[in-house]
Amino acid sequence: MTQSWARFLHDGAIRFGVLEGTQIRVHAGDMFANPKPTNISVRLADVKLLTPTTPTKVVALWNNFRALGQKLNLQIPPEPLYFLKTPNAYLNPDETIMKPSCDGKVVFEGELGIVIGRRCKEVSEAQALEYVFGYTCANDVTHADILNRDPSFAQWVRAKGFDTFCPFGPVVTTGLDPATLTVRTILNGDVRQDYPVSDMLFSVPQLVARLSADMTLFPGDVILCGTSVGVGSMKPGSDVQVEIAGIGVLRNRFE
């Protein structure tokens, strides 16, 4: 059974709960440690959705989809290639991605996010899914012109870490098989990305196991699985949506 968990602002308080149609069943305690349902429900229309978790870090993959790697003539990496999205970049659903003061091309990258549910260090592939709480939608926004403009140093942190450059949500959904999911990115009503998660070079268990060998993953941390073909630039005034059936639609404006 799947459940979609939301974190939200209601009457000045931050709460969390399970989405039940147009209502959210409020829960008490810790989302990742035996949360308790209450007898309180609130209307989805009456709340402000927040990022579904508050990660200590967001780890994001490069060159993890076969189709995009082939298009860019990249070799299949022997191990996951990743960078970090900085906390100042985290952005709530329906909030605005802000154009940096520096000029250049800003691009969308629709992605699946893996949400960690238990403290995770040096786990095996066989154990890895026991540490996954669920999945969310994400947009790995990137200032493409900055990334490689200095030939001596690839500027991953700066290009990926501007304020508002990591929207994710609107919920985290449990009980899904990620290999059955499809990521769609829609820019101003036009579908720009439509790719299967099953095309990943490194699967969810492989990513969790290999990343946890490098660093401890904590409840609420998010692994962005990488993106595929169809990445493109956004102009100010654009509406961008990342849609994954079974999870929902992450909507943001770019201004």
Look up residue 173 and give its DSSP letter: E
Torsion of CA 89, 25, 240, 141, to 10 degrees: 20
Q: What is the pLDDT confidence band of residue 231, given thresholds at 50, 70 and 90?
A: very high
- 164 three-class SS: coil
Does the pTM of the predicted model rise above 0.75? yes
Do residues 41 and 128 both lie within one domain?
no
CATH number, residue 130: 3.90.850.10
Do residues 9 and 39 both lie within one domain?
yes
Read off the pLDDT of residues 67-92 as tens digits, 9 standing for 90 and up.
999 999 999 999 999 999 999 999 99
Do residues 36 and 160 both lie within one domain?
no
Q: Are 216 and 119 in contact (CB under 8 A)?
A: yes
pLDDT for the residue numbered 118: 97
Read off the pLDDT of residues 192-230 as tens digits, 9 standing for 90 and up.
999 999 999 999 999 999 999 999 999 999 999 999 999
Do residues 21 and 135 both lie within one domain?
no
Do residues 6 and 103 both lie within one domain?
no
Do residues 157 and 214 both lie within one domain?
yes
Structure-token pair, residue 123: 């786990």
CATH number, residue 26: 2.30.30.370
User: Residue type at 18?
Assistant: V
pLDDT for the residue numbered 181: 98
Do residues 141 and 247 both lie within one domain?
yes
Q: What is the pLDDT confidence band of residue 134, given thresholds at 50, 70 and 90?
A: very high
pLDDT for the residue numbered 99: 96
Q: How many structural domains are present in the chain?
A: 2
Do residues 58 and 41 both lie within one domain?
no
Q: What is the pLDDT confidence band of residue 95, given thresholds at 50, 70 and 90?
A: very high
Do residues 72 and 160 both lie within one domain?
yes
Do residues 129 and 23 both lie within one domain?
no
Read off the pLDDT of residues 20-79 as tens digits, 9 standing for 90 and up.
999 999 999 999 999 999 999 999 999 999 999 999 999 999 999 999 999 999 999 999
What share of the chain in percent tops pLDDT 70? 100
pLDDT for the residue numbered 149: 93
Do residues 21 and 128 both lie within one domain?
no
Bridge partners for 190 per DSSP: 187
Question: Residue 5 belongs to what domain range?
Answer: 1-50
Do residues 68 and 40 both lie within one domain?
no
